[in-house]
Amino acid sequence: MIPERSSHRELMGLALAEARAALATGDVPIGALILGPDGNVLATGRNEREAHGDPTAHAEVIAIRAAADALRASGNDDGWRLEDCTLVVTLEPCAMCAGAIVLSRIPKVIFGAWDEKAGAVGSVFDILREPRLNHWVEVYPGVREEECAKLLTDFFRAKR
């Protein structure tokens, strides 16, 4: 069961809670969650680049890895294929994360704020809907956009 549009705002609230948790480690406040095939939260992630010194520790990648682990632990031999899952993330995914979304076969992405500098879901690139790739993704942008953007703006303003 993939959630209907009316629940997108509620789901983004869960992703925002993950984003706020990233502040404890000085990471950029981006949060993500993956809903499993049953519509329940399967995995969560938040930026952990600063926490682990890992440039690939973006919220989406953390959540994708955790979701694949959870599916495998439940006996799904194709756990890396997140074919019936939904990703919710507070910021438009970058090129690395968009590639991971395509390769993990996630069919639906809901995101909050646009990323005019590095976004790969319509701002700078549109990897998730690139017709030459083997998998395309349904995208719902701008969910609680102002709230997601403000969290990031406040974070970077405090850094300056």
Q: Is 94 annotated as a binding residue?
A: yes
How far apart CA 116 and CA 130 sit, in angstroms, is: 18
What DSSP string runs through 84-145? T-EEEEEE---HHHHHHHHHTT--EEEEEE--TTT-TBTTS-BGGG-TTSS---EEE--TTH
**Is 8 labelled as part of a ligand binding site?**
no
Catalytic residue chosen out of the listed positions 4, 18, 48, 60: 60
φ, ψ for residue 5 (rounded to 5)? -50, -40
- Is residue 10 among the annotated active site residues? no
DSSP strand pairing (86-91 vs 31-35): antiparallel
Tell whether residue 52 is among the known ligand binding residues: no
Which residue ranges are tagged as binding site?
Answer: 58, 94, 97
Q: Mind telling me the catalytic residues? A: 60
* Residue numbers belonging to the annotated binding site for Zn(2+): 58, 94, 97
